[in-house]
Chains A and B, each alone.
Chain A
Amino acid sequence: MKELIQANHLSKTFKLSAKQQKIEGTKEKTKTAVNDLSFTAYEGEIFGLLGPNGAGKTTTLRMLSTLIRPDSGDAIIDGSSILNNAEDVRSKIAFLTTDLKLEDFFTPNYLFDFFSELHQIPKEMTAERKKMLFGIFGIDKFAEVKVANLSTGMKQKVSLAISLVHWPNVIIFDEPTNGLDVLTAKVVTDFLLDLKKQGKTVIVSTHIFSLIEKVCDRVGVVVDGHMIVCDTLEAVKNGLSLEDRFFEIYKESVGDRDV
């Protein structure tokens, strides 16, 4: 299997403001969000990053999508380095998180064309993809409704469709089903599986065990910026349910580092 994403020893440290230091009860001026984190995702699989809030999942995904630079380490995505070929990386990936919003003022139709243009997609292909993606997510009826007037679920679907205008091989989703009702969440998970069928490589981060169990081929458990375990779903579970296994791993790792 081809290694499509290789994260090599990624580290990222943030400065803490005086107020944050107080909240965290620490005298240290910095907080290490991601610490020497490495993993590999293979072509055509769904890789899950599992961890509690604040474990560093979002920071890792932001580094992979070149929105922030790692302090050290690098990642190679489909042959391009996130450090040296950031623009290449951005043309090869889709990055979707609830932090990335669409402008309320425009319609899904306009935004789809706008982002297609930024990705330099030919006009005919844009129209074709729009038809397909709007069809999958049922956006057709809302294509000319301003984003501001869409429901939360529909906004998320539109974001998803628009993040895929360039139909990339690598798709990175930060908390893909967060805040969605069960029906919309199902549309999204089904779509993830569908993407996998089409040979796409997907990385999802989540703290929802069921999502990982349903869609992921391999999973990495992240705690406090460290990659604790990274293996196939079956190997990680080791005969237990993912939930039970996770708490076991969590206890061990936190115990190990004497926190």
Chain B
Amino acid sequence: MYNAIITIFKKEIARFFGDKRTAFSTILLPGIMIFVMYSFMGDALSNQFSVDEDEKTVCYVQNLPADDTLQGMLQSGFTVKELSSEKDLEKTKEDIINKEADLCVVFPENFEKDVHIDRSLVSADNTPEVQIFYNSSETASSAAFQTMTALLDEFESLLANSFDVNRQKDGVTFDLASDEDSAASVFASMLPMLLLMFLFSGTVAVAPESIAGEKERGTIATLLVTPAKRGQIALGKILALSFIALLSGASSTIGTIISMPKLMGSASDNLSGSVYSVTDYLLLALVILSTVLLLVTAVSLISAFSKSIKEAQTYCSPLIIVAALVGITAMFGDGASTNTVHYIIPLYNSVQSMVQIFSFEAVQTPILLTVLSNILYSLIGAFGLTKMFQSEHIIFSK
């Protein structure tokens, strides 16, 4: 049996891929942009918080205590240079202001002796004070200050060591989260929203052009005087647009997954998509497919209602904001919703299903419910689009 769906599908695909520039900017560009942007952000973030490892920061110290432990600790983090006079100290402070030096530490004169006095016997005023001069507007200086503070805190706790927490020993791991779990928590909180946004932007990039655009240019009426059924025209368009939106979404997703380790820095050492099973990926594919159908149908309806591409895109922006808000729900709350009814709410169901899949909690019933309800909504939408194609107000309104 002949079906106009295939003819329309082929034409839409030919239209899209025939225009190299549109194809590039819709499919390849988003992935490349995301990869470049996230990688850059990741690099920038890690650069900001790390100073050059090879070169230790020079730390000027006055009244350096003779304690071996303390000296060892200081030398592990800094190149220590002793100051001999008050004049030197003033000059160093001046250098810090001018960002020529990073850190200056002043120990009290009898530091070693004073720290060993029983604190319960003397008043708080007599507690020895270590002064650290730094410049918070200079990253290196700020970082050095933090390192020094942490170092001295550690030294302080060594002095009155009552107990240790998580003492480093070979063969003992305290963070019992498996590779899977850490990957899961990152993926489950971030990917659903990102995926939803990528799919949406792919859809908005192609659907208004294909439907509102054809209306605007008066080419849709030419299509409608052929014997092809309106429903077949609507379905052919929806399927072709979904296919393109999926490609665009896939490109963005690949870009994200490749750049994720860079973005997350060292926290992502265990981050790998390979922790998910084939079933997980299959379910994910089903959820994504049904979501794309739903998005394309919704945007197509909006486009058929609009008089121009521009108008269609304007009407789509509130929908994008709603989708972003729904996507954010994945970042809050404790895992996916357990209320089955939630899985028939459009968009929310897709996000929650993705959370389930990414956190290894995939339950087939709600996910199937999501897929089926999305397909049902899409069919209703396709029927609506057919009706709109039959309406002269819609086709000829200008």
Contacts and interface: CB of A to CB of B under 8 A. Distances in A.
Contacts of A115: 226
A163 B222 CA distance: 9
A101 B15 CA distance: 16
Nearest to A172: B225
Contacts of A67: 221, 224-225, 392, 395-396
Given A67-B395, A68-B392, A119 B226 contact: yes
B221 A99 contact: yes
B340 interface: no
B218 A100 contact: yes
B15 A106 contact: yes
Interface residues of A, number: 28
Contact of A100 (B11, B19, B225, B228): B225
Nearest to B22: A105
B14 A110 contact: yes
A233 interface: no
Contacts of B392: 62, 67-69
A100 B7 contact: no
A53 interface: no
A104 B7 contact: no
A120 to B, nearest CB: 5
A66 B225 CA distance: 7
- Binding site of B, secondary structure by majority: helix, strand, loop or mixed? helix
Contact of B226 (A99, A103, A105, A118): A118
Interface in B197-253: 214, 217-219, 221-229
Contacts of A88: 227
Interface string A106-118: 1000100011011
B217 A104 contact: yes
Q: Which of B15, B214, B392 has the most CB of A within 10 A?
A: B392
A118 B228 contact: yes
A90 B226 contact: yes
A185 interface: no
Contacts of B396: 67-68, 99
Contacts of B219: 100-103
Nearest to B390: A69
B369 to A, nearest CB: 37
Contacts of A163: 225
Contacts of B226: 90, 115, 118-119
A62 B228 CA distance: 17
Interface of B: 2, 4, 7, 11, 14-15, 18-19, 214, 217-219, 221-229, 392, 395-396
Given A67-B224, A87-B227, A118-B223, 7 more contacts: A66-B225, A67-B221, A87-B229, A90-B226, A99-B221, A105-B19, A118-B227
8 contacts: A67-B224, A67-B395, A67-B396, A100-B222, A101-B219, A103-B15, A105-B19, A119-B226
